[in-house]
């Protein structure tokens, strides 16, 4: 069957999206990319704050556009009884609810776990938060910078003699959104098997802590706290940033076999015969000395020369690109990691593409990011939601203004 006649993986899945800013919208964007019908619920006056943040072109935030594609927007006043009644109807017909409120907010709105089970026992309820819904930090406000600090993530980033360093991208937001999407897909599969929905939770602090890999494993085994190593690898040497004649190279010879290929390509195999470099432990201890010898050799030729030689030898390496270079790299273009999406009234918007590739049912952009409240009348009618006459008139007015 041709790929364009196949249903996307999440076709027919209805998602009520109560999220804003980044972690939640990133999660629901991924669900939308895979075919889910994502309905973004925004306040009647302000909407998602990201609409007004970041670079604006023709009145459109490209930041907002990048994380809210494949969604429809409706406006509801969730501080009113009418708005809550409409939300209840939507949830009764939905497959998934995603929210990134502080723990307890949804329950205070009247949607306790028991109430949600009563409304729709097949509903998947996904919560994204800073620290989890239980424990001493559950009620704390969270922000990426703070959860990077609290998780220990910042403590292992930066130069050995410098201060702890955050990552440039808001990594704890993004990891939490990714885990939430993963959890939702698993919960949908479990519902297929068992007939009932369940709760999914992903936290910013817990998500990033799960990424510590060997750093956590070694600490749990020894009790030793890992130190900042800058661009050096804490347990492998030589490894890191080296200098060719015309710029830096990132080289990662992470095993003994690859290290031998690396040194052979540089005509430096004899270094392993020297007592101070004969084992990995000794090379880590004498890291500066072996790096200096490798830099001296690499400095005799260009980045292009060494990239070709090392890649042909099977040594992982690359140049240190800035964001412009990376986003315009030929590999980026081939893989469509950056895509162009037409936004009516705003022109073409460039944004990050799809990191996950499915051969038969790939992710697609079916809709650009929505105007505030543009689909209120359409969605409520399509989902068969009964709307009080006064509210219906207000929603129709906002919808026509948004369009």
Identify the three-state secondary structure at position 2.
Answer: coil
Nearest to 369 by CA among 10, 54, 8, 4: 54
Whether 233 is catalytic is: yes
Q: Is the peptide bond before 238 cis (omega within 30 degrees of 0)?
A: yes
CA distance 230 to 157: 6
Q: Which of 219, 233, 372, 375 is catalytic?
A: 233
Contact call for residues 209 and 216 (beta carbons, < 8 A): yes
The pair phi, psi for residue 28, each rounded to 5°, is -70, -30
Residue by residue, DSSP assigns 4-63 as GGSPPTTTT-EEEE---TTHHHHHHHHHHHTT-EEEEEE-SSS--GGGGSS-EETTEEHH
With CA atoms as reference, report the closest residue to 110 among 135, 129, 126, 87. 87
Instruction: List C-alpha distances in Å: 332 to 328, 352, 354, 363.
Output: 6, 10, 11, 16
Which residues are tagged catalytic?
Answer: 233
């Amino acid at each position: 069957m041709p790929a364009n006649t196949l249903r996307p993986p999440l076709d027919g899945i209805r998602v009520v999206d109560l999220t804003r800013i980044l972690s939640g919208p990133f999660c629901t964007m991924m669900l939308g990319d895979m075919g889910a019908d994502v309905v973004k619920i925004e306040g009647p006056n302000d909407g998602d704050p990201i609409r007004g943040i970041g670079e604006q072109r023709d009145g459109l935030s490209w930041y907002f556009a990048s994380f809210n594609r494949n969604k429809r927007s409706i406006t509801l006043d969730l501080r009113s009884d009418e708005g809550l009644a409409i939300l209840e109807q939507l949830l009764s017909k939905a497959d998934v609810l995603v929210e990134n409120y502080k723990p307890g907010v949804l329950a205070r709105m009247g949607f306790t776990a028991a109430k949600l089970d009563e409304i729709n026992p097949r509903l998947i309820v996904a919560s994204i938060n800073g620290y989890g819904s239980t424990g001493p930090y559950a009620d704390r406000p969270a922000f990426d910078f703070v959860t990077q600090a609290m998780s220990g993530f910042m403590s292992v980033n930066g130069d050995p003699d410098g201060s702890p360093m955050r990552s440039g991208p808001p990594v704890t937001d993004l990891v939490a959104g990714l885990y939430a999407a993963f959890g939702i897909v698993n919960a949908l599969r479990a519902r297929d098997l068992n007939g009932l929905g369940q709760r999914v939770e992903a936290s910013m602090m817990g998500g990033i802590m799960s990424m510590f890999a060997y750093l956590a494993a070694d600490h749990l085994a020894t009790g030793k706290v890992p130190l900042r190593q800058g661009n050096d690898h804490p347990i492998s040497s030589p490894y890191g940033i080296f200098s060719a004649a015309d710029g830096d190279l990132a080289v990662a010879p992470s095993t003994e076999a690859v290290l031998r290929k690396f040194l052979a390509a540089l005509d430096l195999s004899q270094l392993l015969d020297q007592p101070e470099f004969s084992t990995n432990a000794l090379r880590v201890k004498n890291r500066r000395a072996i790096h200096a010898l490798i830099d001296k050799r690499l400095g005799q030729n260009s980045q292009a020369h060494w990239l070709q030689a090392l890649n042909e030898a099977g040594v992982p390496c690359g140049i240190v690109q800035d964001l412009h270079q990376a986003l315009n790299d030929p590999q980026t273009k081939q893989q469509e990691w950056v895509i162009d999406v037409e936004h009516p009234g705003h022109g073409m918007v460039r944004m990050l593409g799809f990191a996950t590739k499915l051969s038969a049912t790939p992710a697609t952009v079916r809709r650009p990011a929505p105007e505030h409240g543009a689909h209120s009348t359409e969605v409520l009618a399509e989902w068969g939601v009964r709307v009080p006459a006064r509210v219906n008139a207000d929603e129709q007015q906002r919808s026509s203004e948004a369009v």
